[in-house]
Amino acid sequence: MGRVDAGVQHRDLTARIVEAKDFTGGGSAQDGHGHGTHVASTIAGSGAASDGLRKGVAPGAKLRVGKVLNDRGAGYVSEIIAGMEWAAHSGAKVINMSLGGNPTDGTDPMSQALNDLTASTGALFVVAAGNSGADYTVGAPGAATAALTVGAVDRDDQLADFSSRGPRLGNNGLKPEITAPGVGIVAARSAGTSMGTPVGDAYTAASGTSMAAPHVAGAAAILAQEHPDWPAGKLKDALVSTTKATAGLTVFEQGAGRVDVPRALTQRVYGSATVDFNRVVPGAGPVERTVTYTNGTGVPQTLRLAIELRKLDSGADEPDGVSVVGDGEVTVPAGGSVAVPLRADPEKVDRGLYGGWLVATGADGVTVRTAVGFTVGRRLHAVTIRALDMAGERGAAAVMLHGEDPESDVMGDLYWDWKVYVEEGPYLVNALIEHGGPLHDQLTVVTDPELMIDRDLTLVLDPRKGVPVRIETPKPTEQRGGHTVYEHRVFGNGRQVDHGVMTFGNIQQLNVTPTRQVSQGEFEFASRWQLTAPMVDARISGLSGPQRINLLGQSPAPAGRRKLPLVWGGTGTPGELTRARGAAVVLTANPDVSEHDQVAAAAEAGAAAVVMVRPADFNAWTIWRPDGDRLPIPAMVMANDDGQPVISAARTGRETLDLTLTVNSPYLYDVFQVSQGRVPERIVHTVTAENTAEVTASYGDTGGLDWANEQRFGWRPWQEYSWFDSQRLVRTGTTRQEFVSAGDNWWQHRVLHKLSGQWGGGLAGGLTDQPRRYTADDRETETWYAPIVRPAVPAVGGAPIPTRTGDTLDLRVAEFVDADGHYGLAGSGEEADAVEALLSRDGRPVADLSGGWAPVSTTAAAARYRLDLTTGRSSEDWRWATRTETAWEFTSARPAGDGAQPLPLLQVDYQVPADLRGEVSGKGGHQLGLALRQPTGVPAPKGTSLRVEVSFDSGATWRSVPVHGDGTRYTALVPAGKGAVSLRVHAADRAGNVVDQTVIDAYGLR
């Protein structure tokens, strides 16, 4: 399918393998990855660098270390599974995996491999739960049933806010089973690494479930030494059932509780780690599971059994949901085991998710805890899903069914009838079917926001019922990039499902099936459009309308309209190109020659342009870029079916090609088409002045190639951020009319002053504005990279502001801010800017923030502060403001209250009468506007003074210039000169706030 799917990330660390042999000797771990040593030392560190102060949980453990992720902490599933196999077959009893991928239901390849390896080798895999900090986020392979999955707690046994919680995605399985310390864990630090917070020369402090898992792995190693014949299941049971629980945490947050090594070793009475009933359905009768208690002592143990069960969505106790079969007491003989049945009865409780513990208590403080989970669901029905093609025959589709509960969701690629079993209730159906011309040039979204499943049924996905989504604009347009489609659904029970799909550029038409109005909850269908002037406007005499033709990636694109004879050139051999001179030549593919070589041959024969008709199994999607080697003449491509009439026209030798190429569109439409409550029978979104804002956007040329990338991120109110918007090209030094959908859509514009290194994905670096909404009355003008670009606190609301909270200073200042207040951070995206930031208090250094902005602790008393910020740019893409030096001085004391208070860093804004190349006429001099202000939240400056100096030799010599004005607005008279204007400004106010700012080559003179 031509769509973008989310990839799986495997995050955190390399795999750590603990071998339960010879626990008296010292162990070590070196794998070339700093975090590897952290984990290994948490398990078995000897503490040699700290004179024995810092040791791992099992300091005598023997380690084997397998590196399965690269130095950035990423790797392939196959590599991780290979490491798991190597570890399990090496004889290791315990295998620590401080890594994880996306949440799954435990049937993913890594989780299945873990289950299989545990069964075949008896090795216990201890796996980090993940650091997503939300329900249903336990990742693979921690989702595996056989894994001992570990959450993180702090020193007070409270759950870390980042610790991933259960239940397991898709089936509400009981995960994690156990917790361990994972906040601020001090462990060995490899030389040259910087992860965490360094503690001395050899250690660092880090947080994460990746640091909690080694605690449990070390505990398992100690237990395995005590019981070398125990397989994984017994080790897991003993560790989990002897934990210490934390009041107020659910079983899906902490499992049975925090690992308790002394109790696991000394109690010698254990129980099953978990009892997972999974899904039980009313009407099917009670379901039974078994808990096994084992007594490793020399005397019988009598245990009193009590169920602690809670409904997760309400927190209410539900003692009748699960019960012990029997009288609630059991005697376990010395050295023996006893099985105790538990019964879950769905008729006694409401539908929902339940969790808790079976707690067994005995003499001398014996406590055994077994984690319990089950879900009371609705009846299941068989749904047979069938996709059709445009001829009504069996077809293919990508299918998603979302129900009122996550465990009811179904998704997958469909190539034949697919039978699934889902709970009864309403469902959102979303299916993607590609069809049409070569390689599917149409996409139909088959949807139903309220499919009621109350019986066995067959769901037929029929793209023939789709209607086109039409966007009508006042000027001719084409979609730039792929199509993006969103569906938002809130069910009657409050569950929200938000879904988005982005297609590649080969899709030429988007369709969707009409639906009924939803009877409960909310529904929205939306599509996102980025429309510009057609890059290729090609009209052929004898054929009606413009032709669907794309410009090849390295084609030149001369401006203006051209009318060329259209001739047939076959595959581009010399004998076929005899009529090429001065004409547009139509070619077909030659399997032995590349398209570029065919274009070169046509150019050599004197052709003015080439139109290439591609083979039937090859689409005509292209990505034009202005950089790189260029073809000798304009070259375009067509899909095979679209090209057949063009070939026929060219063969006659009598037709002409009327051609206009527009690679830098003078206008742009950023459009959200939105249908609320239902998909109507006809979808036509017409762009009008009543539903659209107009922005006149100018893009400054900062040097280098005269092209830049920009992106207007758009998102609906139910989204937290933009999904799937595309980067776009714009020629610098030009102005474009941009029409933006008004209303409740959110927008944020970002512009990188040069070409980015990729054509798709989110644009990083450059300058941005604040997220905002537009009204239809908005008619705005903005200029990007207008001089002077310098460090500043932007005046726009929501931008970073230096603040003080108590005795903590947060001094973040945007290093690059243009005259319109667009701002960016140094070193973000593809930039490599030099930055030095130093803070002093009463003349003494306090902090070096050159490596990145960070909170700074200070004293309560009033003190005089100075922040020095220096920036430097060396790229050929940056012509002006290549170096800046800014110093702010201010007085600050501990403020009243607990909130953040803005700091009085006096700001200078500049108004330069420059063109879009950042240049001013150097003849006769010019006026420079300057305005003084304070960051948002600080009173306006009073009693101000301003001094301005200029340099025409990049700061080698300076001269003062006349300044007029008072209050907050001034004008400096810059004399005539050549080259560039460098500025040195000193400003102060009555409160003692001072700013000195130097900008080398701030703007140019022409």
With beta carbons less than 8 A apart as the criterion, state whether 196 and 205 touch.
yes
Residues listed for the chain: 1006
Structure-block tokens of residue 147: 């894994």
> Using alpha carbons only, what angle is made at residue 528 by residues 527 and 530, rounded to the nearest 5 degrees?
145
> Using alpha carbons only, what angle is made at residue 26 by residues 24 and 28, rounded to the nearest 5 degrees?
145
Closest CA to 241 of 200, 195, 293: 293
Residue 254, SS3 per DSSP: helix
Instruction: Give the Cβ contact number of residue 50 at 10 Å.
Output: 16
Q: What is the DSSP letter of 244?
A: B
Dihedral of the CA atoms 451, 453, 454, 460 (nearest 10)? Answer: 90
Residue in 33, 35, 435, 822 annotated catalytic = 35
**Separation of alpha carbons 302 and 366, rounded Å:** 10
Residue 621, SS3 per DSSP: coil
Closest CA to 38 of 121, 86, 99, 93: 99
Q: Which helix (H) or strand (E) segment is 252 a member of?
A: helix 251-254
With beta carbons less than 8 A apart as the criterion, state whether 178 and 216 touch.
yes
The three-state DSSP-derived secondary structure of 770-821 is CCECCCCCCEEEEEECCCCCEEECCCCCCCCCCEEECCEEECCCEEEECCCC
Q: What is the DSSP letter of 442?
A: E
The answer to whether 210 is a known catalytic residue is: yes
Q: What is the DSSP string of 529-585?
A: EEEES-SEEEEETTS-SB---EE-TT-----SEEEEEEEE-TT--GGG-TT-TTSEE
Distance from chain centroid for Cα 570:
47
Q: For residue 746, what are the β-bridge partners? A: 715
Structure-block tokens of residue 974: 């810059």
Structure-block tokens of residue 237: 């049971």
With beta carbons less than 8 A apart as the criterion, state whether 567 and 586 touch.
yes
With beta carbons less than 8 A apart as the criterion, state whether 921 and 1003 touch.
no
**Separation of alpha carbons 161 and 215, rounded Å:** 19
With beta carbons less than 8 A apart as the criterion, state whether 102 and 168 touch.
no
Q: Which helix (H) or strand (E) segment is 78 a member of?
A: helix 77-89
Report phi then psi at 140, rounded to 5. Answer: -75, 145
Closest CA to 609 of 657, 645, 642, 550: 657
**Separation of alpha carbons 476 and 355, rounded Å:** 60
The answer to whether 35 is a known catalytic residue is: yes
Residue in 46, 132, 190, 210 annotated catalytic = 210
Residue 660, SS3 per DSSP: strand
**Separation of alpha carbons 214 and 233, rounded Å:** 18
What Rg, from alpha-carbon coordinates, does the chain have? 34
**Separation of alpha carbons 612 and 536, rounded Å:** 14
**Separation of alpha carbons 349 and 89, rounded Å:** 46
Report phi then psi at 650, rounded to 5. Answer: -65, -35
**Separation of alpha carbons 986 and 915, rounded Å:** 26
Residue in 5, 327, 629, 898 annotated catalytic = 5
Instruction: Detail the DSSP E strand segments found in 345-441.
Output: 352-361, 367-376, 380-387, 397-402, 410-414, 418-423, 425-435
Distance from chain centroid for Cα 825:
19
**């009865």: which residue's tokens?**
345
Catalytic positions = 5, 35, 210
